[in-house]
């Protein structure tokens, strides 16, 4: 059994018929779009998508920071007065 990853689901034909009505029905929540009972896409509110993208950016930056912390051979000492 697959996990339910959206608060609302609709078929691709429902999406084609009236996308605005579908978005209104979902009330700002995620929508699973299916074709022949298989998930083909998820529609997420713009605010949630932006949050996800920011978190992914933060995650990637954290990986860079950790890799640079591990290699202190390129460490440069800087005085606060020089800044």
Average pLDDT, stretch 36-62?
94
Q: How far apart (Å, rounded) are the C-alpha atoms in residues 34 and 43?
A: 11
Q: Please tell me the predicted confidence (pLDDT) of residue 1.
A: 52
User: If you ran DSSP here, which 8-state letter would residue 7 be given?
Assistant: S
* Structural domains of the chain, ranges and CATH numbers in brackets: 8-71 (3.40.1620.10)
> Does 62 have pLDDT greater than 80?
yes
Structure-block tokens of residue 69: 């912390």
3-state secondary structure of 37: coil
pLDDT tens digits, one per residue of 4-47: 678 899 999 999 999 999 999 999 899 999 999 999 999 999 99
Closest by alpha carbon to 18, among 5, 37, 31, 4? 31
Q: Please tell me the predicted confidence (pLDDT) of residue 2.
A: 66
């Amino acid at each position: 059994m697959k996990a339910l990853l959206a608060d609302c689901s609709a078929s691709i034909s429902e999406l084609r018929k009236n996308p605005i009505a579908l978005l209104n029905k979902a009330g700002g929540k995620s929508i699973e779009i299916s074709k022949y009972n298989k998930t083909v896409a998820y529609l997420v509110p713009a605010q949630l998508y932006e949050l996800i993208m920011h978190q992914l950016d933060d995650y990637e930056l954290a990986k860079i920071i950790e890799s640079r912390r591990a290699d202190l051979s390129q460490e440069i000492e800087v005085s606060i007065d020089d800044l």
